[in-house]
Structure 1
Amino acid sequence: MSDYLVSESRTIAADPQRLFDIVADPAMHPKIDGSGTVQALRTGGPERLSAGAKFSVDMKIGAPYKVMNTVVEFDDGKRIAWRHFNGHIWRYTFEPAPGGGTTVTEQWDARHVWNRLFLKLVGFPKKNRAGIKGTLTRLDELVTQS
């Protein structure tokens, strides 16, 4: 595993398609984000993500900013990933778990980003690992408490 690929998994007691549909709904991103950085979905984007779709969100890390994302991987019910201007990728995979439920894996992939050393020096791998764990917890709570 690379320092520039952060990956965490969690088994959630829900159907893979149900979980995928939540992540493929950009309006849900502020609700499931465990990092506290995704503030709101910006208007004008799609209601459901698909291959090549573009969507924008309001973010805040210290100061507010906005970011435009493009879906770069899409296999309905199984895998979705998007990238923004810096080039790193946020990826989710959904696999049926032995015994029931779904193993959801979220990844932050900066292996091919030009400024990955800077990202490491300012602590993004560690911060993103904590945020990913928080997101998987929130996703679990959303589907198991509703």
Structure 2
Amino acid sequence: MTNDTITATITIPAPAETVFDVLADPTTHAAIDGTGWVREALDGEPMTRTGQIFRIAMYHDNHPAKNYEMANKVVAFDRPDTIAWEPGQDMAHDGNLTFGGWIWRYDLRDETPSESHVTLTYDWSAVPPELREHIPFPPFDPAHLENSLKHLSDLAAARVTS
């Protein structure tokens, strides 16, 4: 863990391609998330390219609105090796997105034909000082990453067996 990055790793009993498919499907993100903040995908479309925006309904007790929406921009899409997104919002409700400077990134590689090594990185190094004054980073316990990877593993393993 550096000052602006935390990571967690896991070996998942599924090929990297299967794990990537789970991650590229925003409808699985609520099941992957361990905080209970992620509610549901609002677009229903899988991620297919860098620059794509996908929207997620969220809930957090400390958010002024409690229920809110994140518009995530895909910043890395290299099947089946890397997928990453930067959360943002339409703060002015005018259709223009602003991004906070934190990124969720998954790096995958096959260990064997039936197992993959996955590293999850949460990077907030680009968060501006004025936002850091209002939000402590990371805004969750670092164990959240390990919990998320366990949930991801369960989802990917279930796809292999079905």
**TM-score (norm. length: structure 2):** 0.78
CA distance in 2, matches of 1:49, 1:34: 24
Alpha-carbon separation, structure 2, partners of 1:109 and 1:68: 17
- Aligned counterpart, 1:92: 106
Runs of 5+ unmatched residues, structure 1 = none
Q: Where does residue 105 of structure 1 map in the other structure?
A: 119
Matches within 5 A, 1:1-146: 1-43=1-43, 46-62=45-61, 63-84=66-87, 85-97=99-111, 101-115=115-129, 117-118=132-133, 122=136, 124-125=137-138, 127-145=140-158, 146=161
Unaligned segments of structure 2, at least 5 residues: 88-98
Q: CA deviation at 1:41?
A: 0.7
Partner of 1:125: helix, strand, or coil? coil
Letter in 2 for 1:58: A
Q: Which amino acid aligns with 1:76?
A: R
Higher fraction of helix: 1
TM-score (norm 1): 0.86
Q: How many residues align?
A: 143
Deviations for 1:71-91, whole angstroms, at most 9, x for unmatched residues?
A: 011111000111122121010
The answer to whether the 8 Å contact 2:124/2:138 transfers is: no
Q: Which has the larger radius of gyration?
A: 2
Aligned-residue RMSD, C-alpha:
2.2
Counterpart-to-counterpart distance in 1, 2:154 and 2:22: 12
Q: Deviations over 1:9-59 (max 9, x none)?
A: 00111100000011011111112112211101113x633332111001011
